[in-house]
Amino acid sequence: MIIYHNPRCRKSRETLELLKENGVEPEVVKYLETPLDYEELKALVTRLNIGATELLRKGEKEYKENYKGKDLSEKEAIEAMVKFPKLMERPIVVKDNKAVIGRPPENVIQLIN
């Protein structure tokens, strides 16, 4: 299991703790330090079974300054997250070919069972 984690994010920390409480020691990827490339993000969106624009954090300064009011294509949304990794929703937990966003943290329970 992998968690794309931002240690400064409360929900991300809560999700990691929930995994550990359930006996899971995930591989922790601090995606702000080790950003995902285009293909990795595209695969992640597929595993999440959502559109790339749904993975964008639209409240972030980088989004408001560069993309607000624009109708981004899937490709443009992924490119935005490659350029500004902070725009990727967090945390994301991956197990095999499935992934969930840990908002709320309890979402990850479905990957544990």
* Distance from C-alpha of 47 to C-alpha of 54, rounded to nearest angstrom: 13
Which residues are 5's β-sheet partners? 30
* Distance from C-alpha of 78 to C-alpha of 27, rounded to nearest angstrom: 23
- Within 10 angstroms of residue 102's Cβ, the number of other Cβ atoms is 26
Catalytic annotation, pick one of 9, 24, 32, 50: 9
Give the β-pairing of 2-5 and 27-30.
parallel
State yes or no: is 37 an active-site residue: no
- Within 10 angstroms of residue 37's Cβ, the number of other Cβ atoms is 9
Round the CA-based radius of gyration of the chain to a whole number and report it: 14
Active site residues: 9
